[in-house]
Amino acid sequence: MADPKQEQYKVSWKGWLSLILLIVSFSGIFAKAAGPWRALDFQVLTGQFGQVAKGVFFTGKGGVGAREGFMFALTLFPTLMFALGCINVAESMGALRAAEKLFRPILKPFMGIPGATGLAFVSSFTSSDVGAVMTKGLAEEKMMTDDERTIFVAYQYAGSAVVTNTFGTGAALLPISVLPVGIIIGIIFIVKVIGANIVRFYLKWHATKNRNQGGAVNG
């Protein structure tokens, strides 16, 4: 007779299919694709606001202070709502369990974080907002510990949305760069991983120190 616990964590083909679609969508692979393939990209599906007038977009022009910040925050709602909707549908089909099985052998030794963070890991390449929301959800569902969350946040915080920001914010520097853009993104990624592991080893050292001090007091 099959173990009920094993049956609970069994991933169906729907889970794997939904995971693959989410990875493809959040990774930005088809962002520059031609034809209908672009419809598989998350940023393309999110779209953009139209112009209210010539050169004036939804957020207006020349705003400052808290009101400008409020208008900017409003522009994040469609992206976050759409992302959460996609994630919830995929989660109901078993995508997070599939992500745990797929990414655990990679992310656990790599940065000491669980495989369930795989989708957030992939999405953080193109969207810091989606990665942050997914991380918050994983922490609330107890799918990662506080230490694992701290390590993962350290990874995301440094050079967030590395692909989008490299081509967006850093676009003016790319033509005069002596390195190909792929190498630039690779270097940023390596530094992000190093930073996450520094935090990882610090947390491990701090926990060991507290245990030793506790043992000395009890002794």
Q: Are 162 and 181 in contact (CB under 8 A)?
A: no
Nearest alpha-carbon partner for 196 in 121, 103, 130: 121
Q: How far is Cα 4 from Cα 78, in angstroms, rounded to an integer? A: 39
Helix (H, G, I), strand (E, B) or coil at 116: helix
Residue bearing tokens 């530094």:
191
Q: What was the pLDDT predicted at 1?
A: 38
CA angle 20, 184, 41 (to 5 degrees): 30
Q: What was the pLDDT predicted at 147?
A: 94
Nearest alpha-carbon partner for 159 in 133, 120, 189: 189
Nearest alpha-carbon partner for 15 in 88, 86, 97: 97
Q: How far is Cα 92 from Cα 109, in angstroms, rounded to an integer? A: 28
Q: What was the pLDDT predicted at 6?
A: 40
Q: What was the pLDDT predicted at 202?
A: 95
Q: How far is Cα 210 from Cα 13, in angstroms, rounded to an integer? A: 45
Q: How far is Cα 131 from Cα 139, in angstroms, rounded to an integer? A: 12
Q: What was the pLDDT predicted at 146?
A: 93
Nearest alpha-carbon partner for 159 in 134, 116, 133, 196: 196
Q: What does each of the 219 residues of the chain score in pLDDT, given as a tens digit?
A: 333 434 445 788 888 998 888 888 877 788 778 888 888 888 788 887 777 777 777 777 777 788 888 887 777 778 778 877 887 888 788 887 888 888 889 899 989 999 888 888 888 887 788 888 889 888 998 889 999 999 999 999 888 888 777 776 666 676 677 877 778 888 999 999 999 999 999 999 999 988 888 766 665
Q: What was the pLDDT predicted at 127?
A: 79
